[in-house]
Amino acid sequence: MPDLSRWKIVGRGDERICYQHPDDPARCIKLSRREKAKQTRRERRYFRRLKRRGVPFTLIPEFFGAVEKAGMIGIEQQLVLDERGALPPDVRKYAAQPLTPGQIARFRDGLEALKAYLLAYNVVPCDLVMSNLLVIEQEDATTVMLIDGLGASEAIPLAEYIPWLGRRKIRRKWARFMAKTVMPYVTTMQDRQPS
């Protein structure tokens, strides 16, 4: 087992810790203790299914495989970085800064593109929260990527197998996420626009 204390931590959740890959800074390894790995097991299964279906990993991180360490399990995937090689802000941090009308419009376009991607490929999120979405700002476009909380959480995940059920679930989760989480921030963003 490698000495994890020497690995750079790039994220932390209730169940697992996300480390920058020690040999490839463009990848990360998300590790959970074996006895507390429900989310990791679900995502490993789901990422394998997405790969078999040929889903492009454009707005979710590329999946490279499962990881097993002494007492721990995890996944290896793309570490989402901006054009400078830095970790981009999540939606909450991005929306908390003063943004121009153009930035707000590109941010909304990025959110709509993510929603369209989820619906087109039936990529079912289980946990749409602001910390699971990263905002990558380019000069002429803003990309929003869903980096965590993928796969249906039900014991029998019918939404993953039956596309119309999946799309219904995606639309419902997206509407709730936008109404309760993002739109209050967007309204505040417009009020904070620099003069």
What range defines the domain where residue 60 resides? 4-78
Domain-located, residue 164: yes
Domain-located, residue 171: yes
Give yes or no for a contact between 113 and 144, defined as CB atoms under 8 angstroms apart: yes
Looking at the fold, whether 43 and 127 belong to one and the same domain comes out as no
From the centroid of its chain, how far is CA 126?
Answer: 11
Looking at the fold, whether 28 and 97 belong to one and the same domain comes out as no
Domain-located, residue 83: no
Residue keyed to tokens 């590329």 = 62
Report the pLDDT value the prediction gives residue 5, as an integer from 0 to 100. Answer: 76
d(CA 9, CA 28): 9
For range 5-28, the mean pLDDT: 91
Looking at the fold, whether 111 and 168 belong to one and the same domain comes out as yes
pLDDT score of 136 more than 90: yes
d(CA 55, CA 58): 9
Helices (H) and strands (E) in the chain, counts: 6, 7
Looking at the fold, whether 107 and 162 belong to one and the same domain comes out as yes
Of the residues 49, 78, 107, the one at which a domain ends: 78
Report the pLDDT value the prediction gives residue 189, as an integer from 0 to 100. Answer: 59
- How do residues 49-100 score in pLDDT, each as one tens digit? 999 999 999 999 999 999 998 889 999 999 999 999 999 999 999 988 888 8
Residue 57's CATH number: 3.30.200.20
For 115-119, 125-129, 172-176, which range has the lowest pLDDT when averaged over its residues?
125-129
What is the C-alpha end-to-end distance of the chain, expressed in Å?
A: 54
